[in-house]
Structure 1
Amino acid sequence: MPSGEVLVTCQDAALTFGRGATAVVAVHGADVDVRAGDRLAVVGPSGSGKSSLLHLLAGLERPTSGSVSRPGLDGPSAIGLVFQADSLIPALDVAENTALPLVLAGRTEAETRLPVIEALGLVDAADLADRLPEEISGGQAQRVAVARVLAQAPRLILADEPTGQLDHATGAHVLDVLLAAADRTGAALVVTTHDPAVAARLTIRRTMRDGRLLAPEEAP
C-alpha cells in the first residue's frame, strides 16, 4: 500500500435530512482527505455531525451536495465499520457474527475459520466464540464488533465512538486493539469521539461543531 495514498476524499460534502422548513443539515460542506496510514480523530460533542460525516466516508449516505470519492478503495469490503450502538446479530454466536462480513462477501465457512480465530484472539475474545450476544457483556460485545472488522482486513477502519459506552479500562483496550490492528495491516483509522483523551492518541485531530468540520487551525 503506497504511503500517503488517498483512500477517500470529501470535497465540500454536505448532508441534509428532510426538505423545506423541516430540513436538518447534518454536515455542512466538509473537506477532508483520508490517506493510507492516517490516524484521524474527529472530535466534537453529541449532535455535532461526527456520525453523519463517518457515514459519508463509508458510503452509507450519499452527499446532498459536494462529492465523496474513494480513489484508493476497491469496494465496500475495503471499509470496516465499528458502530457506536450494539451491532451484533442476536441469533448468531460470536464466531458467526465475526465471520458475517466474510460470508456476505462470498467466502466459504472453511475460508472464514482462520481469520475469525485470529481476529477474536486479537481482542482477547477467543473464549467467547460459541456464545450468543445475550451471554456476553457490553464491553465484550464491542470487542467482538472490533474483531468482525479486523477479520475483513480492510484498508480503512471507521469507528464511531467505539469507547463511548465502555468503562475506562475496556475502552482503552478497544482503542489499543484498533491502533495495533491498523499498524499491523497498514489500514487508515478514523475514530469519532467526544473524549479528548481518546483523540490525543491519534496523530491527526479535526473538530466538528454544529455540523461543520473545522480546519485544523480553527480548532479550539
Structure 2
Amino acid sequence: MNPESLVVCDDVARTYGTGPAAVVAVHGSSCIVGSGARIAIAGPSGSGKSTLLHLMAGLERPTRGTVSWPALGSGDERAQDIGVVFQSPSLIPALDVSENTALPLVIAGVAEPDRAQRVAEALALLGIDQLAGKLPEEISGGQAQRVAVARVLAQRPRLLLADEPTGQLDRAAGQRLLDALLDATDHLAAALVVTTHDKAVIERLETRWTMHEGRLHTTIAPAVPS
C-alpha cells in the first residue's frame, strides 16, 4: 500500500528581499512526505533547511512553486494535523509544565477533560509526567525541550516537523530526545521530518535528504540500528 501524501512541495522557492539585496533561501525544490515517513534533512547552518521546513508547515509561503497537503485538512484543521518543534523550547515562564503543554489546546478550544487527558498522555510519552507541576526555571534544558515536544504531541499531529531539536543539547540528551520523538511518533502513527547537522541524529532516520546552498537533494539510506 502506498503511503498517503501528507505534504507535497512542487518546485518551491523562497526569496527574501528584492533587487540586488535579495537572498534566495530555497531554490526550486520538490519532495513528498508520506504517512509514516522518518526523514532527516541534513545540511549546514544557512543551507535553507529551516526555511524548507517552514514551507512544509505552511508558516511561510513560497515565492515560486506550490506546497499542498493532500491527505490533511484545511485551515484550522490542518493546523492541528501539523506539529512544529523549534530549536528553542520557548516555554512561558509563568506557566508550569502541564500548563505549557496544554496551551495550544486551550487556544484551539479543546474541552478541559480531553485536554487534560492529552496533556497527561503527551507528558508520559516523553517520560516527564513527574515534572507536570514544575515551572520552566526548575527544569533542565533537555527537560524543557521535551516539554516543547510534548506540547506539540498533545495536538496529536499526523505530521511532526522538528527544526534542529537537539541543537542546544549535549550528545546524550540529544539521543534521549530523539528516542522519545521516535517512540512518540510511532505511538501516534505520525510522520516525522527533522532538520539537523548532527550525524548521530541523521543515522537514526531511515530517509536522508540534504540541503546545500538552498538546493534539496533527496536520497534514501537504511537506518543504523540503535
TM-score (norm 1): 0.94
Q: Alpha-carbon deviation of 1:87?
A: 1.8
Counterpart Cα distance in 2 of 1:88 and 1:207 = 30
Q: CA RMSD in A?
A: 1.3
Return structure 1 stretches of 4+ with deviation > 4 angstroms: none
Counterpart Cα distance in 1 of 2:184 and 2:91 = 20
Counterpart Cα distance in 2 of 1:43 and 1:5 = 24
Q: Alpha-carbon deviation of 1:3?
A: 5.2
Q: Structure 1 counterpart of 2:111, which letter?
A: T
138-147 vs 100-109, greater mean Cα deviation: 100-109
Count of residue correspondences: 216
Aligned pairs (5 A) from 1:46-61: 46-61=45-60
Residue of structure 1 aligned with 2:186, choices 163, 179, 183: 183
CA contact (8 A) 1:8 1:57 kept: yes
CA contact (8 A) 1:133 1:141 kept: yes
Q: Structure 1 counterpart of 2:52, which letter?
A: L
CA contact (8 A) 1:3 1:37 kept: no
- SS at the partner of 1:159? strand
Instruction: Map Cα deviations across residues 85-122 of structure 1 (whole Å, 9 max, x no partner).
Output: 23212222111110112112111222211111111111
Unpaired stretches in structure 1, ≥5 consecutive residues: none
Aligned pairs (5 A) from 1:140-179: 140-179=143-182
CA contact (8 A) 2:9 2:31 kept: yes
Counterpart Cα distance in 2 of 1:47 and 1:185 = 31
> Partner residue of 1:10?
9
Q: Does 1:196 align with 2:194?
A: no
Q: Alpha-carbon deviation of 1:61?
A: 0.3
CA contact (8 A) 2:14 2:25 kept: yes
3-12 vs 85-94, greater mean Cα deviation: 85-94
Instruction: Map Cα deviations across residues 147-193 of structure 1 (whole Å, 9 max, x no partner).
Output: 11111111000001111111111111110111111111111000000
Q: Does 1:138 align with 2:141?
A: yes
- SS at the partner of 2:130? helix
Q: Alpha-carbon deviation of 1:215?
A: 3.7
Counterpart Cα distance in 2 of 1:196 and 1:23 = 32
Instruction: Map Cα deviations across residues 117-152 of structure 1 (whole Å, 9 max, x no partner).
Output: 111111121121112212211111001011111111
> Partner residue of 1:78?
81
Unpaired stretches in structure 2, ≥5 consecutive residues: 221-226
TM-score (norm 2): 0.92
Counterpart Cα distance in 2 of 1:120 and 1:3 = 32
- SS at the partner of 2:120? helix
> Partner residue of 1:216?
219
Residue of structure 2 aligned with 1:107, choices 103, 110, 118: 110
Q: Structure 2 counterpart of 1:67, which letter?
A: T
- SS at the partner of 2:154? helix
CA contact (8 A) 1:3 1:36 kept: no
Counterpart Cα distance in 2 of 1:66 and 1:102 = 32
